[in-house]
Copies of this chain bind each other. A is one copy, B any other.
Amino acid sequence: MQFEIRHQDGLARGGRLTLDRGVVETPIFMPVGTAATVKAVTAEELCELGAEIILANTFHLMLRPGTAVIHAHGGLHQFMHWERPILTDSGGFQVWSLARSRQVNEQGVRFRSPVDGELVFLGPEESIGVQHALGSDIVMVFDECTTYPASRQQARASMELSLRWASRSKCTHGTSTKALFGIVQGGVYQDLRRESLLGLAGLGFDGYAIGGLSVGESKAEMAQVLTDLVPNMPVQRPRYLMGVGTPEDIVAGVMQGIDMFDCVLPTRNARNGWLYTRDGIVKIRNSRFASDTSPVDAGCHCYCCRHYSRAYLRHLQQSNEILGARLCTIHNLQYYLDLVRDLRQAIAAGRVADFSADFFSRRGVSWPTVA
């Protein structure tokens, strides 16, 4: 993996990530393909939308269909018919948020599968092993997501455990040519976050992620973590803000120097009829769109906006039609991928501060660190 910073505009960075399976221009948004499919869309549609890399989940895939099935296909790319890069989450976050009867010890986590109730064990060696079997292009260390709220003592213990697991993850990763990213933990405690970062940097990773945010803390707390942490992250390595977030979060994150994002919001909200536009969210099930023959966003060039009206999308949503989920997903992903493309262009042109100001002003909202 190579990472080159090509433009700098304030704290914001425009970069290029070169992986075996393709080039990723940053800042980038990674659509989430939890269960070996970005929900409702095909690989060809993702390519047309401009997706350069997607995320998949170790936790879900090891439980269903199981690593062996995917490995028998030659890996996740072949299994799901996606040729471009894939970043795999390590399962640390999902163990924390989805597993039943979770028991954590030094070795790893034992839990009951939400799929079939079976007892499963996942530790750093197991997680990295699964990610290698999947053929992941960017492997994430196995970490413990620190609960919010957590006392300083709890957050320290959890962060230190994650550091030890990061070290074991790196050992297991060995001489693999795939990228391995560390994950900074530490809750909302600045000193713990810095200690986590220093520990990870000492081990040495291809990229650094910020985990344990968007887990219940306030936007102000999240902003404070970023403001303090991001400037201290290794300059020459990609910075990945995990599981974040809204369009506002992404613009604010880029302004702080983040390079990579992933989030289920555009795809999940699409299925519920919440559509992103440059002027804010359109809730397409609202009766005021019943006869609206205009597209969701007249300025959008996506397949949905080129061919279908708000009234048609509303009708599909009201009728629970699969095509509704498809079209809304395409639109929302186009919005997110256009947003990061616009951010990249603004950074290259040295006008990202103006872009950010216009973005927040047009939407009539602010973000803690921007206000």
Question: B-contacting residues of A (Cβ < 8 Å)?
Answer: 35-37, 39-43, 64-65, 68-69, 72-73, 79-81, 290-291, 293, 307-309, 311-312, 314-316, 318-319, 321-323, 325-326
Interface pairs A-B: 4 shortest CB-CB: A40-B322, A65-B315, A81-B307, A37-B323
Contact assessment for A293 and B73 in the assembled complex, using a CB-CB cutoff below 8 Å: yes
A15–B43 Cα gap in the complex (Å)? 38
Q: Name A312's contact: one of B36, B64, B309 (CB within 8 Å).
A: B36
Closest to A35 in B: B319
- How far apart are A325's CB and chain B's nearest CB, in angstroms? 6
Chain B residues with CB under 8 Å of A40's CB are 322-323, 326
Closest to A37 in B: B323
Chain B residues with CB under 8 Å of A309's CB are 73, 79
Contact assessment for B72 and A293 in the assembled complex, using a CB-CB cutoff below 8 Å: yes
A43–B325 Cα gap in the complex (Å)? 15
Contact assessment for A315 and B35 in the assembled complex, using a CB-CB cutoff below 8 Å: yes
Closest to A66 in B: B290
Contact assessment for A79 and B312 in the assembled complex, using a CB-CB cutoff below 8 Å: yes
Chain B residues with CB under 8 Å of A65's CB are 290, 311, 314-315, 318
Chain B residues with CB under 8 Å of A322's CB are 39-40, 322, 325-326
A64–B319 Cα gap in the complex (Å)? 8
- How far apart are A349's CB and chain B's nearest CB, in angstroms? 35
Contact A68 B291, CB 8 Å, known A40-B323, A321-B35: yes
A41–B79 Cα gap in the complex (Å)? 22
Contact assessment for B73 and A36 in the assembled complex, using a CB-CB cutoff below 8 Å: no
The interface centre, meaning the residue of A37, A318, A321 with most chain B CB atoms within 10 A of its CB, is A37
Chain B residues with CB under 8 Å of A64's CB are 315, 318-319
A39–B37 Cα gap in the complex (Å)? 19
27 interchain pairs, CB-CB under 8 A? A35-B315, A35-B321, A36-B312, A36-B315, A39-B321, A39-B323, A40-B323, A42-B323, A43-B307, A64-B315, A65-B314, A65-B315, A65-B318, A68-B291, A69-B290, A69-B311, A69-B315, A72-B293, A72-B311, A73-B293, A73-B311, A73-B312, A79-B311, A79-B312, A80-B312, A322-B325, A322-B326
Chain B residues with CB under 8 Å of A326's CB are 40, 42, 322, 326
Closest to A315 in B: B65
Chain B residues with CB under 8 Å of A316's CB are 35, 37
- How far apart are A284's CB and chain B's nearest CB, in angstroms? 13
Closest to A42 in B: B323
A321–B65 Cα gap in the complex (Å)? 13
Chain B residues with CB under 8 Å of A315's CB are 35-36, 64-65, 69
- How far apart are A328's CB and chain B's nearest CB, in angstroms? 11
Chain B residues with CB under 8 Å of A35's CB are 315-316, 319, 321
Contact assessment for A81 and B291 in the assembled complex, using a CB-CB cutoff below 8 Å: no
Closest to A60 in B: B319
- How far apart are A56's CB and chain B's nearest CB, in angstroms? 13
Contact assessment for B291 and A69 in the assembled complex, using a CB-CB cutoff below 8 Å: yes
Chain B residues with CB under 8 Å of A314's CB are 65
Given known contacts A39-B323, A65-B311, A79-B312, what 9 new A-B pairs fall within 8 Å (CB)?
A35-B321, A37-B316, A40-B323, A65-B315, A72-B291, A72-B293, A73-B311, A81-B308, A326-B326
A80–B313 Cα gap in the complex (Å)? 10
A130–B348 Cα gap in the complex (Å)? 55
The interface centre, meaning the residue of A36, A73, A312 with most chain B CB atoms within 10 A of its CB, is A312
